A = this chain, B = another copy of it.
Amino acid sequence: MIAELVRSILEGDPRAVAQAISTVENEPAEAQTLLSALHAKVGRAARIGITGPPGVGKSTLINEMAVREQARGRRVGVIAVDPTSPFTGGALLGDRVRMHKATDEGAAFIRSMASRGMAGGIARATADAADVLDAAGKDVVIIETIGVGQSEIEVSRLTDCTLVVLSPESGDSIQAMKSGIMEVADLIVINKKDRPGADRLMHDLRSAFELGLRKRNVEMIQTSAYNGTGVPEVLEAVDRYLEHARTSGSFRERRRRILGHRLRSACEFMMRQSLWDRAGAPRMLDHATEAVFNGSRPLYEAARDLLKELSS
């Protein structure tokens, strides 16, 4: 059963890939077996993070990037964990999936993932889903996240290269600075470059970098993703970034760091599971909750007792 699924994934069968990603999302324990079976085939794909505030045009940019990557013979997978992305589907109140140009024109695999309620967090699920796409033979895996929120920023730390996308609209740069996404930027894309304020934004960002808000300089590219302007330059910059990272050894170091991080999270996830799967755990938790609720026990003392009880 699993052997067949593994074979189909390795052949790049989109249905098998979709099934595997669902398993990653919903059944983390089963997913572990699956991922272990795929393990020897993982590592070849370049993982590109695309992050930024809502409305800056991340999905349009990704679409254009995917079309061009495919045109030069590269297989592309996209994982969208941005709830505001048109890729995430979920059409509500007249909202429509605005574009799937990449899938229409070629073999890009686009998959949205819920950004909430996922066992073990979005970062775990996203990295695992990227492993599946990698094993399925994608050359490039693009991960779209919204550049707001603790868990979402964590996701963009799990890629080989992260692009922060901004637009000249008011407040974007400030919001980006404050929310911490600038710290994960390897490249900056200023989309909607025809709108007023694009040069100003670029200037402001440069000043911020010069003021030492970031240690190293970061390349900035202006685009109009809706008509493709600047998109080839973005792809070239990504290639250049990865090339340089491979040469300097930072690529390997970063991948090792990411694995360390994932390993740590995986341990914590397994530990949490074994803790609450233990017989009697719900009853013990109820008792402890009641003691805190009726005021007879402080929260953290109750937690310490409960942990002792659960681990005994």
Binding site for B on A (CB under 8 A): 32, 35-36, 39-40, 43, 53-55, 83-84, 88, 90, 92-93, 95, 115-118, 121-122, 131, 146, 148-153, 171, 173-175, 177-180, 204, 207-208, 213, 255-256, 259-260, 262-264, 266-268, 270-272, 275-276, 285-286, 288-290, 292-293, 295, 298-304, 306-307, 310-311
Contacts and interface: CB of A to CB of B under 8 A. Distances in A.
A266 B255 CA distance: 31
A289 B268 contact: no
B292 A263 contact: yes
Given A40-B295, A175-B54, A303 B150 contact: no
Given A148-B152, A151-B151, A260-B286, 19 more contacts: A54-B171, A83-B148, A83-B178, A83-B180, A84-B174, A90-B177, A92-B177, A92-B178, A92-B213, A93-B207, A115-B179, A116-B179, A146-B149, A259-B289, A260-B285, A260-B289, A263-B303, A264-B285, A266-B303
A28 to B, nearest CB: 9
28 contacts: A35-B299, A36-B298, A36-B301, A54-B54, A54-B148, A83-B179, A84-B174, A84-B179, A90-B177, A92-B174, A92-B177, A92-B208, A93-B204, A116-B179, A116-B180, A117-B150, A146-B148, A148-B152, A150-B151, A259-B293, A263-B285, A263-B292, A267-B275, A267-B303, A267-B310, A268-B268, A271-B271, A271-B307
Assembly of this chain: how many copies?
Answer: 2
Contacts of A260: 285-286, 289
Main secondary structure of the interface of A (DSSP, over half): helix
Contacts of A204: 93
A93 B179 contact: no
A256 B289 contact: yes
Contacts of A292: 259, 263
Contact of A93 (B174, B259, B264, B271): B174
B32 A300 contact: yes
Nearest to A131: B299
A263 B288 contact: yes
Contacts of A295: 39-40, 43
A83 B267 CA distance: 30
Nearest to A262: B299
A297 to B, nearest CB: 8
Contact of A256 (B148, B275, B293, B301): B293
A48 to B, nearest CB: 20
Contacts of A116: 150, 153, 179-180
A263 B149 contact: no
* A55, A267, A304: residue with the most chain B Cβ atoms closer than 10 Å: A267
Pairs of residues from A and B, 6 with the lowest C-beta to C-beta distance, nearest first: A149-B149, A266-B303, A39-B298, A36-B298, A83-B179, A32-B300
A207 B256 CA distance: 50
A188 to B, nearest CB: 14
A109 to B, nearest CB: 21
